Structure formats: C-alpha cells, structure tokens
Structure 1
Amino acid sequence: MPALTTAHLLPIVMLVGSNVFMTFAWYGHLGHKGAAIWLVILASWMIALPEYMLAVPANRFGSAVYSTAELKTMQEIITLTVFAGFSVLWLKEPLGWNHAIGFCLIAAGAFFIFQGKA
C-alpha cells in the first residue's frame, strides 16, 4: 500500500469540507420550513459558494494522485458519510439497518474501484 502524503490527503480533507457546506446548502433549510423559498434559495447559494471553492481545487489537486473515477468514488463515500451524520444530528432522522446495508454495499463498490492501483 503506498504511503499517504499531503498530496493524497489534502483533496480528501477539502472534499469533506465541501460536502459539509453542500449538505447544509441542500438540506439545512428543511429545519426551517417556514422560511420563504426565495430566502432559502438565496441562503443555499451563499452556502454553496464555499462548497465550490473547496470542491473544484480538491478535484484539481486530487487529479495529480487519483484517477477521476477514484475522485468521484471518494466524493460519493464522503457525501454518504456526511449526510448520514447530518441526517441524525441536524434533521433528527434515525438511520436504520437498511441504510447501513445500502451504505456498506456502496462502500464495497468503492473498495473495488481502488483495486486497480499498484
């Protein structure tokens, strides 16, 4: 297994940060259903700007050490992980056994994506 360097870790950290912003931009308003939709859209766009400021360079930097398929796979696993925490902690929606099995199957798919690397 190759050693993890800053070049390997920085894109992952940036993708985690971008996913936190995007999850709040897309789903954070569900805790404030009484807010006007135009205000929700404006707030979501303002939250999404930092998301893009993290995601775009994360993919640019990450492409130096990861394939596009690997970057996308990491993005999806990070998205599910961040969303699972957000769902439980912010939205107070429990995750069940079916969610756990589904997430594990997706993680298994991610495992196979990374098997082609030497």
Structure 2
Amino acid sequence: MITLTHIKLMIVAVLLAGSFCAGYYLATLQANKQALELMQSQHQAIADARARADKAVFDAQQAQEQVRIEVIEKEKVITRDVIQYVKSPSHTVCRYDDERVRIKANILTTADPRSPLTE
C-alpha cells in the first residue's frame, strides 16, 4: 500500500534526480564552453603566427628583390665602364690608370667578395 510518506519520498527522489541531471548538464555545458574558448584562442594564435610568418617572408622577398636590382645595376655600370675602357683608342697601351684599377676591383668584388684578390 502506498502511503502519503511513500509519495513524498518519490517526489523528493524525482526532484533530486532532476536537480542532479540539471547540474550535470550545466557542468557539461561549462566544460564545452571552456574547450571552445581554448580552441578559438589557439586558432587565433596560429593565425597571428601565420600572419607574422607571411610578413617576414614578404619582407625577405622584398629585400632579395632589392639586392637583385642593385646587383643588376652594378653589373650594368661595370659592363659600361669596361666597354668604354676597351673602346678607347689607347687601349693597346699597357698602363694601369686609376680607372682600370677601379674597374678591375669592382669586377673582382662582384665575382667573389671573399676572394684574397679583393684585398
């Protein structure tokens, strides 16, 4: 026979079970929210690192292009100076004027800056 006390106990048990489930559900939601925030912060950190790396690569490529342009310009100047020196009417005369020494030094330095001949 079910008495009023049994009914009260069943109601208390159902309420306790319901509150336990609600608390468990709330804790699960909080854990999932924290995991999502952590994942988003990690993705943001990765995106920031990738952006910094892309900028560094771009800067390095710009510097490399600038050096390449400078080398091309230097080669043009050296080639122009050599042609001018060779085309001079007195190029058969074997004397080492300052201009020839400068051209030779530029050629050696451009060919191998670590060469002992450049010193």
TM-score under structure 2 normalisation?
Answer: 0.30
Q: Which has the higher relative contact order, 1 or 2, with Cα contacts under 8 A spaced 6 or more apart?
A: 1
TM-score under structure 1 normalisation?
Answer: 0.30
Radius of gyration: which is bigger? 2
Normalized per residue, the structure richer in helix is 2
